[in-house]
Amino acid sequence: MEHPLFIYNTLTRKKENFVPLNPPFAGLYVCGPTVYGDPHLGHARPAITFDVLFRYLQHLGYRVRYVRNITDVGHLENDADEGEDKIQKKARLEELEPMEIVQYYTDRYHEFMDMIGVRRPSIEPRASGHIIEQLDMIDKIIKNGFAYEVNGSIYFDVEKYHKKFNYGKLSGRVLEDLYNNTRDLDGQGEKKKSFDFALWKKALPTHIMRWPSKWGQGFPGWHLECSVMSTKYLGETFDIHGGGMDLLFPHHECEIAQSVAANGQESVKYWMHNNMITINGQKMGKSLGNFITLEELFTGKHKLLEQAYAPMTIRFFILQAHYRSTLDFSNEALKAAEKGLIKLMEVCKQFDKIQPESKSTIDVKKIESELYVSINDDLNTASLIATIFENSKLVNRLVAKEDSISAEDLGTFKNLIHTFVFDVLGLAEASSAGTSSEALKVAVELLLQERVEAKKRKDFAACDRIRDRLAEAGILVKDTKEGFEWSLK
RNA sequence: GGUCUCUUGGCCGAGCGGCUAGGCACCGGUCUGCAAAACCGGCUACUCCGGUUCGAAUCCGGAAGAGACCUCCA
């Protein structure tokens, strides 16, 4: 590889050359959604970030197994409902079976991820489908002496673990600080230390989501599923583990501890974390109540939204920032992304208008190199997009015959841009937000054809009348050299 | 309170010691019956104060502001 791929490893805080453990295979595990609510903008970021990684690794020729879990067991809540499962709580409110909720939101998640061009992972395991494996791992951890039982619950003994290994290596936490700074929370009493975490929780009588175990009825702790399912499908050690930065601590720290405690070795070679999406500078989060669902984004029905945005606009918006930077939401930024994407799509189409010449005055090799340098620099999609835009001028010059290109170079150039835009970045034409029915299409095009005729007769009054009336109805007309284009506003 | 991160032009956002991305907006121009679109061109920023250096948005120290994690979260 002429330009090797570098990715930022949270574990070492450095950009590292990506070298898979077992080439040509590459293993990727990403923390997926907890399916108890509609997918929102915050879900889109990791999904898209790691989708690009998935696509790019495949582009590089790796045989990638991408595992992204569905958390359907639910996490323990620490509020007044003492120990009530999130999914269970929602279920009670809506009077549905917990699994019904899980199914519904899983489907919703898939539906919206499909819309923003996120490819389905190779395996999408559910926590509820891996209870046996989770119990097995708990056994291993107990056997190795890093967990203890209290009243039918099993806790991970962080202090004991830390004597032998390093708890806090990923997040940079110091155990002593943690001890001094952990707040008093519900159920702390059972644990030896406040920073110990549950591997298995005894189910209260009201708890519906429960499974039998040798310690009685209960449910798995909230970090366990990822350790278990990544091990099961990718092996005790695998290449890349990704997720949101908010999962860094405690979730991923605990995952490391669990895997090491059970298997005696590090599980992950490269840890990758995407940054948050902010709204007015503040994190968009479920608990903050300031999140915007993807459905709201696509329909424009949210008090912060000035208009609807196409799914591809959202993808482009996210890709225009580097994944490790926070990305601030605003209508202005989204509108800019909308136009930028249109322009990018336009550039891709321009290739077909280029007439090849006998020789090239442009350096396609150099362009290729620039593109790879961008993406290989820790998946810098922002820089990659910028590079493509820079070359858009060149494309237009070629169309205008101000530069020339050989047939061979043209093929390479077009393939290069198209590969990056469509295959790697996974972008596509933003389908006009409102779905136009076939009948509408026929009617509008009939009218516009009439308008073309009127124009030929130089009956501009009729021309303008048609255009104005359509505009009033929300249909935007644009004249092109070939004829016309229209879109729903 | 502890730990960590960030601060770039009107807005969004790259940047990792010299070449100062890119998008949107804006202003010119070309094109067009007009408009829109498209295309071409213009627009040189880096929170503040010190320091290192021939040279700093980029490195070091300090100040101010913002944010994240420490609790479910993508």
What's the Å distance between residue A274 CA and nucleotide B57 C1'?
A: 24
The full set of domain ranges for chain A reads: 6-274, 278-424, 438-488
For residue A94, name the pLDDT band (cuts at 50, 70, 90): low
Nucleotide nearest to A42 (CA to C1'): B74
What's the Å distance between residue A341 CA and nucleotide B39 C1'?
A: 17
Q: Which of residues 198-227 of A touch strand B (CB under 7 A)?
A: 222
Nucleotide nearest to A380 (CA to C1'): B14
Q: Is the shortest CB-to-strand distance from A401 to strand B under 7 Å? A: no
Q: Which of residues 89-148 of A touch strand B (CB under 7 A)?
A: none
Q: Which nucleotides of B are covered by protein (CB under 7 A)?
A: 1-4, 11-15, 21-25, 32-41, 66-74
User: pLDDT tens for residues A208-255?
Assistant: 788 999 999 999 998 999 999 999 999 999 999 999 999 999 999 999
Give the mean model confidence (pLDDT) for residues A329-352.
92
Q: Is the pLDDT of residue A338 over 90?
A: yes
**Domain A278-424 coded CATH 1.10.730:** yes
Q: Is the shortest CB-to-strand distance from A471 to strand B under 7 Å? A: no
- Which are the contacts of A4, defined by CB distance < 8 A and separation ≥ 6? A17, A18, A376
Same fold, A6-274 and A278-424: no
**Domain A6-274 coded CATH 3.40.50.2300:** no
Q: What is the pLDDT of residue A75?
A: 52
Contact A265, A49 (CB under 8 A): no
Q: Is the pLDDT of residue A78 over 70?
A: no
* Higher pLDDT among residues A1 and A139, named by residue: A139
Q: What is the pLDDT of residue A82?
A: 45
Q: Is the pLDDT of residue A202 over 60?
A: yes
**Which string of b and e fits A181-199 if b means at least 16 CB within 10 Å?**
eeeeeeeeebbebbbbbbb
Average pLDDT, chain A: 88
User: pLDDT tens for residues A253-295?
Assistant: 999 999 999 999 889 999 999 999 998 778 887 777 788 999 9
Instruction: Please return the burial class of A213, using the count of CB atoms within 10 Å of its CB with bins 0-12, 13-18 and 19+.
Output: buried
Question: Which two tokens mark A185?
Answer: 């929370």
What percentage of residues in chain A have a pLDDT greater than 90?
62
Prediction ipTM score: 0.93
Q: Is the shortest CB-to-strand distance from A45 to strand B under 7 Å? A: yes
